Amino acid sequence: MQSEQRVVQEGANNWVRPVKRIEPKPGQFLYSREARAQDTVVKAGPARIGGAGFAVIAGPCSVESKEQLVETAEKVSQAGAHVLRGGAYKPRTSPYSFQGMEEEGLKLLALAREATGLPVVTELMDADELPLLEDYVDIIQIGARNVQNFSLLKKVGKINKPVLLKRGLMTKLDEFLLSAEYILAGGNDQVILCERGIRTFETATRNTLDLSAVCVLKERSHLPVIVDPSHATGHWRFVEPLARAVLAVGADGLMVEVHCHPEQALCDGSQSLTPEMFSHLMGELNAMPSFRPADQAALKQV
């Protein structure tokens, strides 16, 4: 980083010599508003995330079959989604749960993109899989479990492709922003921050959605901030009201799970909207005064 640095002394006492470490001043981090006052707009195919518009990412939790993915992709596209999501590699709590279709899933995501024109995002779990994902997808997601996998963050910092970084279950906002800094420091300035709920004492929902994080992140960083209410709550019936709150609080976008047959889903069916529910949600967002579709906003920014 080309900037002034400050020296911090740690651990000094009568028995141990002080240890010096050098770090940038807080306002000199690449993620900060001091480093860049203007909002960053991340580009993925025709989609624009950040700036004046509100982007919607939608699709199934996991890629399960050609028919399932293409049907869902076509329906979310018709309803107004800007990006298709779908997991090809799935990090699951149990080793016996469905782990994803892996490379075959990536091929199906590329097929769905060809059928609909929607850019696609999927999660990277292992650095060895990075070349494959670079070939098939438009946005690479770093999931909540890998938010502080620093070697992985350094790897995606060197690629020429947008990165969607999810906040971890127990990650403080300072830590979240420093994880983004790893990517930015590697030379990749196309980073999207995603609030997806944090773990608290509350058990009524899967996680606790921290909407205040949007305000803090937007104040402190120029990076676009989106929210995933599906993973935050774990219940489809809470997704629509929270999606409206996401728009109202000033986020740059929304990430929701949609499945044509949630009761048959191999992963997270309970938090997935049907295409009909998603279409209704898009209508509700369109009716809000602050809603401006990301594609229309992008045209005004050109």
For 199-219, the pLDDT digits (tens) are 999 999 999 999 999 999 999
Across the chain, mean pLDDT equals: 90
Report which of 284, 202, 301, 295 is spatially closest to residue 245, judged by C-alpha positions.
284
pLDDT score, position 90: 75
Contact of 205 with 196, CB cutoff 8 Å: no
Residue 119 CB coordination number (10 Å): 20
Strand bridging mode 42-44 / 47-49: antiparallel
Report which of 163, 164, 222 is spatially closest to residue 188, judged by C-alpha positions.
163
Lookup: tokens for 202: 């509350």
State the pLDDT confidence band at 22, using cuts at 50, 70 and 90. Answer: low
Amino acid at 195: E
Q: What is the DSSP string of 139-190?
A: EEEE-GGGTT-HHHHHHHTTSSS-EEEEPPTT--HHHHHHHHHHHHHTT---
Three-state DSSP at 265 gives coil
Lookup: tokens for 261: 């047959």
Give φ, ψ of 95 to 5 degrees. Answer: -70, -10
d(CA 230, CA 153): 24
Q: Name residue, tokens 């959605």.
A: 209
User: For residue 221, what is the DSSP state?
Assistant: B
Condensed to tens digits (0 to 9), the pLDDT of residues 28-55 reads 899 999 999 999 999 999 999 999 899 9
Contact of 284 with 245, CB cutoff 8 Å: no
Lookup: tokens for 69: 């993915």
Contact of 16 with 218, CB cutoff 8 Å: no
- Whether residue 8 is predicted with pLDDT greater than 60 in this model: the reply is no
> What distances in angstroms separate CA 101 from CA 65, 141, 186, 213, 228, one per listed residue?
9, 16, 30, 33, 23
Read off the pLDDT of each residue in 93-110 and give the average, rounded to a whole number. Answer: 85
pLDDT score, position 292: 85
d(CA 276, CA 202): 30
Contact of 30 with 190, CB cutoff 8 Å: no
- Whether residue 106 is predicted with pLDDT greater than 60 in this model: the reply is yes
Three-state DSSP at 254 gives strand
Lookup: tokens for 178: 């420093």
Lookup: tokens for 192: 């999207």
Residue 208 CB coordination number (10 Å): 15
Amino acid at 79: A
